[in-house]
Amino acid sequence: MKDDKQFEKDSSAADSSADSVDEYLQTLGNEDARERRYYSQEQPFSVDEMARLVNEDRLTELLAQSDAFLSSLNGEIKDFDDEY
């Protein structure tokens, strides 16, 4: 009996997985269906949720690091152009 329950569980998981793949493949040729599927997965965030989720200090630090990196990269590219 234990094997039967395990088989049913595995079979049901395989069915749902196969159903999802089949549904996805059917939407590939249908632009409207694909767009609906894409947007249905979006989760809108309220202003309060975004304020709670975003760490402004960390974001500012990351932006400063990215600016420094891009500036350094730009300098390296200019040096490379001058050398050759």
d(CA 72, CA 64): 12
pLDDT of 2-59, one tens digit each? 455 555 555 555 567 777 877 777 767 777 776 776 766 677 778 888 888 889 999 9
Sequence-ordered list of residues with C-beta below 8 angstroms from that of 53, at least 6 positions apart, any chain: 45
Please tell me the predicted confidence (pLDDT) of residue 83. Answer: 65
Q: Residues near 1 by Cβ (< 8 Å), separated by ≥ 6?
A: none
The model's pLDDT over 56-84, given as tens digits with 9 standing for 90+, comes to 999 999 999 999 999 999 988 887 766 66
